[in-house]
């Protein structure tokens, strides 16, 4: 009798392996890789849903085997590359394959499936591949698209669609992973315009279960498709995958916030290796990871020679200097749109010393200070209060960047006739009329305008760079570059408050050099992305200390890093020892978890994040 190996979609480590079942004769012909089945499991009364990952003649299991009870749907719902990707990511992130299967396979919709099977000729399903073979050495490129969105030929959507059209014509598939719903809409409308929408399949967590399942099984069973979506789509099925496009990998939405904390970029890099296919990362400003991959020659950087707006950089500590005020006023009089990007909402967001003009910083963690409601100087990062003055001796401070509410008041006074609108993460505008509107927006929430903005003021560069986080500069550059892309061809960009080398580099909009320098500096300090940093968090310090001892004894690849975060231990490790670390750690973590005094049913004792960039 044949044996079916079945895996379950479960985050439990004990269940994270294949379980073997006998295949009854009646089901023999319908079972193959990726088919969903119901099987008896343990003493539970109801049958458990699993996915067949192998049909074998023998089982390695000593005990007696149960039989597969039922087949859920006749068609496969998981592809072999998808499963291999889940395994690779689980190993890299020290997670369970089972918890990733849930992202690779959406929840089944029986109605949607029945409809799909009725509308599709059965020959389409599992048809053998007759496509020409793919290129032997697929390219890995980082592409900077046209600086301006108005540049249609070099717009990121055009770059992807032009390349994708060639790929799907040859019967292969394309995967496009976008940061946000907004980019998804932009890309989708470009697909409509190009006529390729009929060859496309969308994977978005915002879609209904029914749509998601229809699109999922379509992608499993057909080739020559453009599969596109937000970060979950990194795991989507793609038959004969030949090209991967990742858009704006520095955007935070590419980071999965729950265990095992994967990132679209890491998943897709692994996918391109496993499936031996081309990968192209497209962004106006590179992430430090991509900068590193370019530096070591793993990626090739293509810069498109495109139209750029004029850039003016002021080094004043004022938020908006007199000259910029005059520019805003002039542009509004011409009835042209103006964008002011500010770091945050609310009122005062940072403090400068009144005498030496330096930004006041926390003596412990170097975070920026602000005036809390009781008018005390307080660190934004570690929340400590300060009464001692500046190192120059001065004690007086003044606010250097006001939030949008305060700035709006100020601008209302200065431009009483102007139409001032706000856009932020909470109340986000997507589009404004091209007439003389003054937009105040927080990073990432800038509305688009037909023809682009005549004037863009990046008002809070000091505050944005003052964030004492690893990715402060990288994220500021990403937000600035994306705001700049909304400029008109004859637009002017004013970056307020920058000086030195970065100012010189940004005058030419050379974000790649800024990030490269930052990345090399971090490498010298042993910080990511040249090394990886992991964290383990626990509610119980006793469990954490036990793990700490075991790590010191057994995992010499891990280098302890001090951290201010409570109930957390942090380690650095070389990229090359990642799998060794994950393998060893998995054993230790389960050992500690098993004997923990402080565990709740179904809940983790230790939370491991193999790439935690928040803790440092």
Partner DNA sequence: AGCACGCCGACT
Partner DNA sequence: GTCGGCGTGCTC
Mention every residue, 6+ apart, whose C-beta is less than 8 A from residue 612.
261, 533, 534, 535, 570
Do the Cβ atoms of 567 and 80 come closer than 8 Å? no
Q: Which is nearer to DNA, 253 or 596 (CB)?
A: 596
For DNA, give the closer residue by CB, 136 or 603.
603
Rounded distance between C-alpha atoms, residue 270 and residue 275, angstroms = 9
Residues 6+ away with beta carbon under 8 Å from 24: 67, 68
351 neighbors 377 (Cβ within 8 angstroms): yes
Nearer Cβ to DNA (477/547): 547
Of residues 26, 42, 128, 500, which one binds DNA by CB under 7 A? 42
In this complex, which beta carbon is closest to DNA, that of residue 112 or of residue 589? 589
CA-CA distance, 269 to 261, in Å (whole number)? Answer: 15
Q: Closer to DNA at the Cβ: 302 or 604?
A: 604
Closest CB to DNA among residues 508, 591: 591
DSSP secondary structure string, 368-429?
A: BEEE-TTS-EEETTT--EE-S--TTS---EEEEE--HHHHHHHHHHH-TTSEEEEE-SSS--
Least separation in angstroms between residue 123's CB and DNA is: 34
Tokens of 411: 């601008």
Q: Is 59 in the site for DNA (CB under 7 A)?
A: yes
CA gap 222, 214 in Å, rounded: 12
Nearest residue (CB) to DNA, 119 versus 603: 603
Non-local CB neighbours of 230 within 8 Å, separated by 6+ positions = 177, 178, 179, 180, 181, 184, 203, 204, 205, 253
45 forms part of the interface with DNA (CB under 7 A) = yes
d(CA 282, CA 353): 40
CA 384 to chain centre: 31
From the CB of 458, what's the least distance to DNA, in Å? 48
Helices (H), 28-155: 80-93, 97-104, 110-119
* C-beta of 168 vs 608, nearer to DNA: 608
Q: Choose which of 28, 61, 383, 501 interacts with DNA (CB under 7 A).
A: 61
Contact segment (CB under 7 A) with DNA among 57-65, 157-165, 503-511, 523-531 equals 57-65
Beta sheet of 369-371, edge-to-edge order = 369-371, 377-379, 385-386
- The minimum distance between CB 44 and DNA, in angstroms, equals 4
Between 362 and 544, CB nearer to DNA: 544
By beta-carbon proximity to DNA, the closer residue of 26 and 42 is 42
DSSP secondary-structure letter at 528?
T
Binding to DNA (CB under 7 A) within 398-417 occurs at none
Dihedral pair phi/psi, residue 306, rounded to 5°: -135, 170
Is residue 601 involved in binding DNA (CB under 7 A)? yes
Local structure of 551: helix, strand or coil: helix
Shorter beta-carbon distance to DNA: residue 483 or 589: 589
The residue among 64 and 118 lying less far from DNA, judged by its C-beta, is 64
| Range in contact with DNA (rule: CB under 7 A) among 153-161, 289-297, 526-534, 594-602 | 594-602
Question: DSSP per residue over 319-330, as a string?
Answer: SS-HHHHHHHHH
The verdict on 602 binding DNA (CB under 7 A) reads yes
Minimum Å gap between C-beta 45 and DNA is: 4
Based on its alpha-carbon atoms, the radius of gyration of the chain, rounded to whole angstroms, reads 27
Peptide bond into 425 cis (omega under 30): no
Write each residue from 62 to 91 as x if it is in contact with DNA (CB under 7 A), else as -, in one continuous string. Answer: -xxxx-------------------------
Residues with Cβ within 8 Å of 324's Cβ and at least 6 positions away in sequence, in order, are: 314, 457, 494, 496
Q: Contact between 54 and DNA (CB under 7 A)?
A: no
Binding range to DNA, per CB under 7 A, among 305-313, 439-447, 472-480, 597-605: 597-605
Looking at the Cβ atoms of 43 and 136, the one nearer to DNA is 43
Instruction: State in angstroms the smallest separation of the CB of 165 from DNA.
Output: 46
Question: Minimum CB separation from DNA for residue 582, in Å?
Answer: 21
Determine the size of the site formed for DNA (CB under 7 A): 26
Minimum CB separation from DNA for residue 49, in Å?
Answer: 11
Least Cβ distance, residue 4 to DNA (angstroms): 9
Distance CA 145, CA 475 (A): 18
**Of residues 165-204, which lie at the interface with DNA (CB under 7 A)?**
none
Task: Compute the least distance from the CB of residue 19 to DNA, in Å.
Answer: 4
Contact 227, 236 (CB under 8 A): yes
Question: Least separation, in Å, of the C-beta of 43 and DNA?
Answer: 4
Contact letters for DNA, residues 544-583 (x by CB under 7 A): ----------------------------------------
Residue with tokens 């994306």: 482
Under the binding rule (CB under 7 A), the answer on residue 259 touching DNA is no
Contact partners, residue 406, CB within 8 Å, separation at least 6: 346, 347, 348
Among 25, 44, 137, 387, binds DNA (CB under 7 A): 44
Note the maximum CA span of the chain.
87
- Tell the smallest beta-carbon distance from residue 10 to DNA (Å): 7
Nearer to DNA, 5 or 535 (CB): 5
Query: CA angle at residue 96 from 93 to 99, to 5 degrees?
Result: 105
Residues 12-41 that bind DNA (CB under 7 A): 12, 14-15, 18-22, 40-41
**Residue 395 backbone zone (phi > 0: left; psi -120 to 50: alpha; other: beta):** alpha
Stretch that binds DNA, among 9-17, 459-467, 551-559, 570-578 (CB under 7 A): 9-17
How many Å apart are CA 187 and CA 176, to the nearest integer?
9
**Cross-strand pairs, 368:** 361
Q: Which is nearer to DNA, 417 or 597 (CB)?
A: 597
In angstroms, rounded to a whole number, what is the distance separating the alpha carbons of residues 457 and 438?
11
Choose one: 11-19, 131-139, 279-287, 494-502; the region binding DNA (CB under 7 A). 11-19
Q: How far is the CB of 93 from DNA (least distance, A)?
A: 19
Where do contacts with DNA occur on this chain (CB under 7 A)? Answer: 10, 12, 14-15, 18-22, 40-46, 59, 61, 63-66, 594, 601-603
């Amino acid at each position: 009798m044949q044996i079916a190996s079945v895996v379950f979609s479960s985050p439990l480590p004990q269940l994270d392996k294949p379980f073997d079942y006998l295949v009854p004769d009646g089901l023999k012909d319908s079972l193959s890789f990726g088919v969903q089945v119901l099987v008896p499991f343990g003493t539970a009364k109801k049958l458990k849903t699993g996915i067949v990952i192998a049909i074998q003649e023998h089982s390695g299991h000593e005990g007696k085997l149960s039989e597969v009870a039922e087949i859920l749907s006749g068609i496969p719902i998981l592809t072999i590359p998808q499963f291999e990707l889940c395994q690779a990511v689980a190993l890299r992130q020290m997670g369970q394959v089972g918890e990733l299967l849930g992202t690779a396979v959406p929840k089944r919709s029986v109605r949607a499936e029945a409809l799909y099977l009725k509308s599709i000729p059965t020959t389409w399903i599992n048809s053998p591949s007759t496509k020409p073979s793919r290129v032997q050495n697929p390219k890995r490129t980082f592409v900077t698209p046209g600086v301006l969105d108005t540049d249609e030929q070099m717009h990121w959507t055009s770059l992807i669609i032009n390349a994708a059209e060639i790929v799907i014509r040859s019967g292969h598939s394309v995967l496009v992973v976008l940061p946000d719903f907004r980019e998804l809409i932009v890309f989708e409308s470009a697909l409509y315009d190009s006529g390729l929408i009929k060859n496309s399949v969308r994977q978005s967590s915002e879609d209904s279960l029914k749509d998601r399942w229809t699109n999922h099984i379509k992608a499993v069973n057909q080739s020559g498709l453009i599969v596109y979506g937000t970060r979950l789509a990194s795991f989507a099925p793609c038959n004969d995958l030949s090209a991967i496009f990742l858009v704006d990998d520095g955007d935070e939405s590419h980071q999965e916030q729950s265990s095992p904390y994967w990132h679209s970029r890491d998943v897709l890099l692994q996918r391109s290796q496993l499936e031996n296919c081309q990968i192209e990362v497209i962004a106006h400003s590179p992430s430090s990871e991509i900068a590193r991959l370019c530096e070591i020659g793993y990626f090739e950087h293509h810069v498109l020679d495109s139209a750029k707006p004029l850039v003016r950089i002021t080094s004043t500590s004022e938020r908006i200097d007199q000259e910029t005020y005059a520019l805003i006023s002039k542009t509004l009089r011409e009835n042209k749109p103006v964008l002011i990007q500010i770091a945050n909402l609310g009122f005062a967001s940072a403090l400068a010393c009144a005498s030496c003009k330096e930004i006041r910083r926390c003596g412990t963690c170097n975070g920026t200070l602000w005036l809390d409601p009781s008018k005390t100087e307080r660190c934004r990062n570690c929340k400590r209060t300060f009464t001692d003055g500046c190192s120059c001796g001065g004690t007086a401070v003044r606010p250097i960047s006001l939030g949008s509410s305060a700035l709006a008041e100020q601008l209302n006074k200065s431009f009483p006739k102007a139409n001032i609108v706000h856009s932020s993460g909470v109340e986000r505008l997507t589009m404004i009329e091209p007439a003389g509107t003054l937009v105040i927006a927080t990073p990432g929430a800038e509305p688009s305008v037909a023809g682009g903005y005549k004037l863009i003021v990046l008002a809070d560069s000091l505050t944005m760079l003052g964030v004492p986080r690893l990715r402060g500069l990288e994220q500021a550059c990403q937000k600035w570059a994306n705001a700049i892309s909304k400029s008109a061809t004859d637009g002017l960009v004013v970056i307020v408050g920058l000086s030195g080398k970065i100012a010189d580099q940004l005058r030419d909009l050379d974000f790649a050099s800024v990030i490269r320098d930052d990345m090399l500096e971090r490498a010298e300090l042993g910080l990511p992305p040249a090394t990886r940093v992991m964290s383990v968090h626990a509610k119980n310090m006793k469990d954490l200390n036990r793990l700490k001892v075991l790590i010191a004894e057994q995992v010499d690849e891990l280098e302890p890093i001090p951290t201010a975060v409570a109930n957390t231990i942090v380690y650095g490790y070389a990229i090359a020892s990642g799998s060794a670390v994950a393998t060893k750690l998995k054993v230790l973590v389960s050992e500690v978890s098993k004997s923990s005094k402080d565990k709740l049913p179904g809940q983790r004792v230790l939370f491991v994040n193999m790439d935690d960039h928040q803790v440092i």
